[in-house]
């Protein structure tokens, strides 16, 4: 039973509404992103259609070509056009790179409330997205973009909530240390809203699908240990693996709920987990190169 230390509900509705209003301080994901997601989800779409949409956005094209020519991919020749990028990397890979470019600006910032230096949240987000995609492919999920994007943006709520966490940090620490709450649970009790809940509001505002909103809201498995949703379980697993590898851990990583049964339900044994972590650890320098360009 959780001890009542008197920190629940100490913010009124006006405070919560102010936090929600701060969502507007985020730089919106470019509208072209949703167009691209629609093209990829259409089985009759073509390389030409995707190339046309990206090419008309000069900033997006420039970022995409930088990413394609990074050491992460190690392509045998210089990529000079969107069409070439799609031919060499495939539509799926290009879409993921477009999403990376779209999410970079918000997630790069220092998040003082979570004790994350500049770039650390971005590193965690990129790593989570890449690991989630690998897990999704192992499980035979067709729409890996959904999982990739949800893992990339799962902590977008932290960008908005960071200052409020800093203000309530002492209360949160007491709730974690004396009451045994996870950091996210303590956030909710001390502030009235947690970063996953706020992140789902961001994704709603950006007109992401209902499925995406639900994954972001529940990526800590906040509805209990329900393994019924495969995509949410995978995003949780990717997040957990990043924590285990020490990638982008802030103060909340010290009070994180680890659910072994989720990995068992996904069919990943300890050996599988070690192999995934070892494989990702070998290319972490390449991932940092990818991050520096996006």
Q: How far is the first Cα of the chain from the last one, in angstroms, to the nearest whole number?
A: 45
Is 127:280 a contact under the CB 8 Å cutoff? yes
List residues bridging with 116 in a β-sheet: 111
Residues 134 and 175: their CA atoms lie apart, in Å, by: 35
62, two tokens: 């420039």
User: Among all chains, which residue has been given the structure tokens 């730089």?
Assistant: 27
pLDDT of residue 258: 82
Is residue 244 within 8 A of residue 66, CB to CB? The reply is no
The pLDDT value recorded for residue 60 is 79
pLDDT at 14: 47
Residues of the chain with pLDDT under 50: 1-9, 13-14
Tokens of 46: 């073509």
Whole-number Å distance between alpha carbons of 284 and 291:
10
Phi, psi of 116 (to 5 degrees): -115, 120
pLDDT the model gives residue 226 = 56
* 186 touches 175 (CB < 8 A): yes
Total-model pTM: 0.84
**Quick one: pLDDT at residue 54?**
81
Q: Work out the number of other CB atoms within 10 angstroms of the CB of residue 257.
A: 15
Q: Which helix (H) or strand (E) holds 291?
A: helix 284-293
């Amino acid at each position: 039973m959780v001890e009542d230390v008197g920190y629940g509900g100490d913010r009124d509705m006006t405070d919560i509404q102010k936090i929600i209003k701060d969502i507007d301080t985020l730089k919106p994901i470019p509208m072209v992103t949703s167009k691209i997601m629609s093209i990829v989800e259409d089985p009759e779409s073509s390389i030409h259609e995707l190339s046309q949409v990206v090419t008309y956005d000069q900033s997006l094209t420039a970022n995409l070509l930088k990413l394609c020519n990074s050491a992460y991919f190690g392509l045998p020749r210089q990529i000079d056009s969107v069409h070439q990028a799609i031919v060499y990397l495939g539509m799926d890979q290009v879409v993921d790179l477009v999403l990376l470019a779209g999410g970079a600006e918000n997630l790069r910032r220092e998040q003082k409330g979570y004790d994350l230096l500049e770039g650390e949240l971005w590193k965690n987000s990129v790593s989570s997205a890449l690991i989630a995609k690998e897990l999704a492919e192992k499980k035979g999920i067709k729409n890996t973009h959904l999982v990739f994007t949800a893992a990339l943006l799962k902590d977008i709520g932290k960008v908005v909530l960071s200052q409020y966490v800093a203000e309530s940090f002492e209360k949160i620490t007491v709730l974690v240390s004396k009451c045994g709450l996870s950091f996210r649970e303590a956030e909710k009790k001390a502030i009235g809203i947690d970063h996953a809940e706020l992140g789902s509001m961001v994704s709603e505002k950006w007109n992401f699908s209902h499925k995406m909103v639900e994954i972001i809201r529940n990526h800590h498995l906040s509805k209990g240990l329900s393994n019924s949703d495969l995509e949410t379980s995978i995003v949780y697993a990717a997040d957990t693996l990043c924590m285990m590898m020490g990638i982008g851990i802030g103060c909340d990583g010290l009070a994180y709920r680890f659910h072994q049964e989720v990995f068992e339900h996904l069919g990943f044994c300890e050996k599988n987990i070690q192999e995934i972590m070892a494989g990702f650890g070998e290319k972490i320098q390449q991932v940092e190169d990818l991050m520096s360009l996006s």
